[in-house]
Chains A and B, each alone.
Chain A
Amino acid sequence: MSPVSRGFHRRRQDPAESAGRVPPGQYVTKDFPVLSAGPTPHTALGQWTFSIGRGGQQKTWSWAEFRALPSQDVTVDIHCVTKWSKLDTAWQGVSVDTLLELAGHDGPFAMAHCDGGYTTNLPVPDLTGGKAWVAYAYDGQPLAPEHGGPARLLVPHLYFWKSAKWVRSLELRDTNDPGFWENYGYHIYGDPWREQRYAGD
């Protein structure tokens, strides 16, 4: 280990507020850091669509149609692979369960596709059973572009790189192909409670 820098410490977590809620190696932050692998896309709502399906068989919603779907207000803890965790984050969005039912499609795996070209892969069982949403509001406000607006995937039980910003479709697949970060060495699944940050962890 490098020599310790006298008096330096990362932002400390308050043990009382986070008992049992913080996965190994994480610290709690009150900020909401913005991480990005590329420029922030700006898609006009009139152009925005969300699709789910496979190949030529997609169910697609316009922004107005999507916003008319039944939505949920959820409060969840989120965990970033760069070691910060943020507790009690409040979102509004459409449950992926709802989207899959309406699409009438199935598949063991899904690839999220996003404006700007970002992708991430997930097993469909991690998107269902009340575990995932396509979220368009954060903390009572429309989701800001820097945080993934108009809408992002929200899958809080996995590291937050799986909660793909600027999501435009979920493509159902038979194979668990790696998405953007998975391709560059991040873990194919990403369970923060087993500290699955990198391939092989």
Chain B
Amino acid sequence: MAGTALRRRLTWQVAKVSAVTAETASVRTLTLDVPDWPGHQAGQHLDIRLTDEDGYVAERSYSIASAPGEPVAITVERLDDGEVSPYLTDELRAGDDLELRGPIGGYFVWEPEDGGPLLLLAGGSGIVPLRSILRHRERAGSTVPVRLLYSSRTLNDVIYRAEFDRPASGVEVIHTLTRNQPPGWSGYARRVDVALLAEVAWPAAAMPLAYVCGPTSFVEAVSQALVQSGYPPERVKTERFGATGGT
């Protein structure tokens, strides 16, 4: 099944938006009805193509938020000066068409047989592919232990918050809020650094598998810190969204 998903011809097709769900004030999940979807792996993404009446074309990539077997969904953060994201979060509605191609990606993917323990590190909207991995793990009945370290600006920016408040068995979720924290917050309140990882990450001796996703600066800092703390580079997988998280 996974082999089929990777070896197929990649063509643009028109999907229908079946639902738009608000995750936070600036983040929406678009659930899609894709007529010719071959299935996907957790961690993969798809490319979106928008065309205006003058023939102007804009393309962007978005990670798939849903697990294999669930309806295809992407989660998009609205960037105020973005060209594409405000259209996807504010204009698109259920029933609209959306041109896409996918699934794409053979590196930043996880299957239960890849093992663990898993260390998932998310910066902002970098949580999206990691959430797909978590949902896939649960649906597959995997018992691989997971720690998710999720860095957000504020508690109101945490995406899928309800899900992470009740994580699946074997999953620990650790938040860090870097800009401000609610009264009484006893969790981490700073950017992920070597000291924070020393407290949270699986020890290198456990041979963990790490997935780091988010803005480029987050991924660079965190992946370097992990390697510094003894993680072999080949056990640290990275996906960089760029400064603006994908526009």
Q: When the two chains form their complex, are residues A3 and B83 in contact, meaning their CB atoms are under 8 A apart?
A: no
Q: Please, could you name 28 A-B residue pairs with CB atoms under 8 Å apart, sorted by A?
A: A2-B12, A2-B57, A2-B99, A3-B14, A3-B51, A3-B97, A4-B53, A5-B50, A5-B51, A5-B87, A5-B96, A5-B98, A6-B96, A6-B97, A7-B87, A7-B91, A8-B51, A8-B58, A8-B91, A9-B52, A9-B53, A9-B56, A10-B52, A10-B54, A10-B56, A10-B58, A10-B83, A11-B83
Report the separation of the CA atoms of residues A83 and B83 in the bound assembly, to the nearest whole angstrom: 14
Report the separation of the CA atoms of residues A31 and B55 in the bound assembly, to the nearest whole angstrom: 22
Which residues of chain B are within 8 angstroms of A4 by Cβ–Cβ distance? 51-53
Name the distance in Å between A31's Cβ and chain B's nearest Cβ: 7
Count the A-B residue pairs with Cβ separation under 8 angstroms: how many? Answer: 45
Residue A35, interface by CB 8 Å = no
List A residues at the B interface (Cβ < 8 Å): 1-11, 31, 83
Which residues of chain A are within 8 angstroms of B91 by Cβ–Cβ distance? 6-8
Report the separation of the CA atoms of residues A83 and B58 in the bound assembly, to the nearest whole angstrom: 12
Q: When the two chains form their complex, are residues B55 and A1 in contact, meaning their CB atoms are under 8 A apart?
A: yes
Which residues of chain B are within 8 angstroms of A1 by Cβ–Cβ distance? 51, 55
Name the distance in Å between B78's Cβ and chain A's nearest Cβ: 14
Report the separation of the CA atoms of residues A161 and B221 in the bound assembly, to the nearest whole angstrom: 32
| Minimum CB distance partner of A8 in chain B | B50
Q: Do A8 and B52 contact each other (CB < 8 Å), given the known contacts A2-B57, A31-B81? A: yes
List B residues at the A interface (Cβ < 8 Å): 12, 14, 49-58, 81, 83, 87, 91-92, 96-99
Which residues of chain B are within 8 angstroms of A8 by Cβ–Cβ distance? 50-52, 58, 87, 91
Name the distance in Å between B16's Cβ and chain A's nearest Cβ: 12
Report the separation of the CA atoms of residues A1 and B58 in the bound assembly, to the nearest whole angstrom: 13
Report the separation of the CA atoms of residues A6 and B53 in the bound assembly, to the nearest whole angstrom: 9
Name the distance in Å between B49's Cβ and chain A's nearest Cβ: 6
Q: When the two chains form their complex, are residues B55 and A5 in contact, meaning their CB atoms are under 8 A apart?
A: no
Report the separation of the CA atoms of residues A44 and B58 in the bound assembly, to the nearest whole angstrom: 38
Q: Do A2 and B81 contact each other (CB < 8 Å), given the known contacts A8-B87, A10-B58? A: no
| Minimum CB distance partner of B12 in chain A | A2
**Cβ-closest 7 pairs across A and B:** A5-B50, A2-B51, A9-B52, A8-B50, A7-B91, A10-B56, A8-B87
Known pairs A6-B91, A8-B58. 13 more at Cβ < 8 A?
A4-B53, A5-B51, A5-B97, A5-B99, A7-B91, A7-B92, A9-B53, A9-B56, A10-B52, A10-B54, A10-B58, A10-B83, A83-B56
Report the separation of the CA atoms of residues A47 and B119 in the bound assembly, to the nearest whole angstrom: 44
Which residues of chain A are within 8 angstroms of B81 by Cβ–Cβ distance? 31
Name the distance in Å between B207's Cβ and chain A's nearest Cβ: 33
Report the separation of the CA atoms of residues A9 and B58 in the bound assembly, to the nearest whole angstrom: 10
Which residues of chain B are within 8 angstroms of A83 by Cβ–Cβ distance? 56
Pick the most buried of B12, B54, B58, B92: most chain A CB atoms within 10 A of its CB: B54
Name the distance in Å between A40's Cβ and chain B's nearest Cβ: 12
Name the distance in Å between B87's Cβ and chain A's nearest Cβ: 5
Name the distance in Å between A88's Cβ and chain B's nearest Cβ: 20
Name the distance in Å between B28's Cβ and chain A's nearest Cβ: 15
